[in-house]
Amino acid sequence: MTLSAPSLRWPAPAKLNLFLHINHQRADGYHELQTLFQFIDFCDYLTITLHDNDEVTLASELNQVVADSDNLILKAAKSLKLATGYRGGAHIELEKNIPMGGGLGGGSSDAATTLVALNALWHTGLSKAQLAAIGLSLGADVPVFINGYAAFAEGVGEHLQAVSPTEAWYLVIAPDVHVSTAAVFQDPQLVRNTPKMTLASLMSSPWRNDCEMLVSRQQPQVANALGWLLEYAPSRMTGTGACVFGSFEQQQEAKAALANLPSHWRGFVAQGKNISPLEQMLNSL
């Protein structure tokens, strides 16, 4: 693969948890879960320009609200340099579209795209498994974005099995609240005892999110958005929220519901993708 700088515009897609079951909390504090990840064609975008000095810099509207030391894009780039000994740098421009704190995986996806793109641009030659190991140190959801395929996940989210759920159309609503994933998983009222099921049983059973009841109780806007959306389609919360989504067979049905969305909520229509836009881009290079 021969790529030149400045780079292409690299997609960092959002994801939905089509279901999310919390099985138990381990002694180390982490939670065993079973979940189904599917990508959607709604993305952040990273434009990367290579340069010869050793510095990695980031231009983003988030620079004002997220410290460099906490930024997953910069952490990912530095982790790749550390793992490979690469000498050289890059300037990354982030176009941020995915709502933060919404359960859509935007930060994890940005980190994954950084690792995948720089591994290609820097010719560092790491495998997906090696990139995923770096990604897991940044966040539990990063490996699924590196893997690039819709997946059934177990463990803390690191054991992945490719699956092919229906690529439905979704209306995603982002209530104007920020939900802390850490706070949800630390809450004593979180459901933690859903029995583990086989993948076949899970795929044929009604889907739910074990975090939804707790978050809806604590965040009235989430409960209100779910209540509104359920009038149009089967609907659930994704991840630990705050975003909720309704599933539609046809794009025009989702768009018709979006047209009626109350003005105090942000919403968008996107299609489920079992091969991520990032993976599709890699395969086309």
Task: Pick 65 or 233 by higher pLDDT.
Answer: 233
| d(C-alpha 13, C-alpha 40), whole Å | 6
Mean pLDDT along residues 88-99: 95
Known catalytic residues are 15, 141
Pairing relation of β-strands 89-95 and 56-59? parallel
Q: Please give the pLDDT value at position 197.
A: 96
pLDDT band at 8 (very low <50, low <70, confident <90, very high): confident
For tokens 């209100």, the residue is 224
- Name the nearest CA neighbour of 98 among 86, 116, 112: 112
Domain residue ranges of the chain, discontinuous segments joined by +: 9-163, 169-273
pLDDT above 60 for 1:
no
Q: Please give the pLDDT value at position 62.
A: 73
Q: Please give the pLDDT value at position 7.
A: 59
- Average pLDDT value over all residues in the chain: 93
The answer to whether domain 9-163 has CATH 3.30.230.10 is yes
Q: Identify the sign of the CA torsion 46, 119, 163, 183.
A: negative
| d(C-alpha 130, C-alpha 125), whole Å | 10
Q: Please give the pLDDT value at position 65.
A: 64
Mean pLDDT along residues 45-62: 91
pLDDT in tens, 243-258: 999 999 999 999 999 9
- Give yes or no for a contact between 36 and 152, defined as CB atoms under 8 angstroms apart: yes
The answer to whether domain 169-273 has CATH 3.30.70.890 is yes
Which of 10-14, 158-162, 262-266 is most confident? Answer: 10-14
Has this prediction a pTM greater than 0.85?
A: yes
- Name the nearest CA neighbour of 273 among 46, 56, 85, 11: 11
Pairing relation of β-strands 169-174 and 244-248? antiparallel
